[in-house]
């Protein structure tokens, strides 16, 4: 039974961690749009397979051309 004296504080620590993580996610707008993120994976995958530049590279390229 002595192990309870260690496990309970440990469980409380885990709980504190979980709550901190959830609040972090909330602050970072992770719960704002649940549909979009799940699809983004599909698009980015297709892009990479086609060897297209990612959006960031494309933007840089465009900026160079325009400047």
Cα→Cα distances 13→1, 7, 26, Å: 20, 10, 20
Q: Name which of 15, 13, 33, 36 is nearest 25 in CA terms.
A: 33
Q: Does 10 bind another protein (CB under 8 A)?
A: no
User: What phi, psi does 18 have (nearest 5°)?
Assistant: -65, -45
Under rule CB under 8 A, which residues in 23-62 are in contact with another protein?
A: 23, 26-27, 31-36, 38-40, 42-43, 46-47, 52, 55-56, 58-59, 62
Q: How far is the CB of 33 from another protein (least distance, A)?
A: 5
Q: Site for another protein (CB under 8 A): how many residues?
A: 35
Q: Does 3 bind another protein (CB under 8 A)?
A: no
């Amino acid at each position: 039974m002595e192990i309870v004296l260690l496990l309970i504080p440990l469980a409380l620590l885990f709980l504190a961690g979980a709550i901190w993580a959830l609040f972090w996610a909330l602050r970072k707008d992770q719960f704002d749009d649940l549909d979009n993120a799940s699809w983004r994976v599909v698009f980015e995958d297709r892009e990479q397979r086609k060897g297209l530049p990612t959006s960031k590279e494309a933007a840089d390229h465009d900026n160079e051309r325009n400047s």
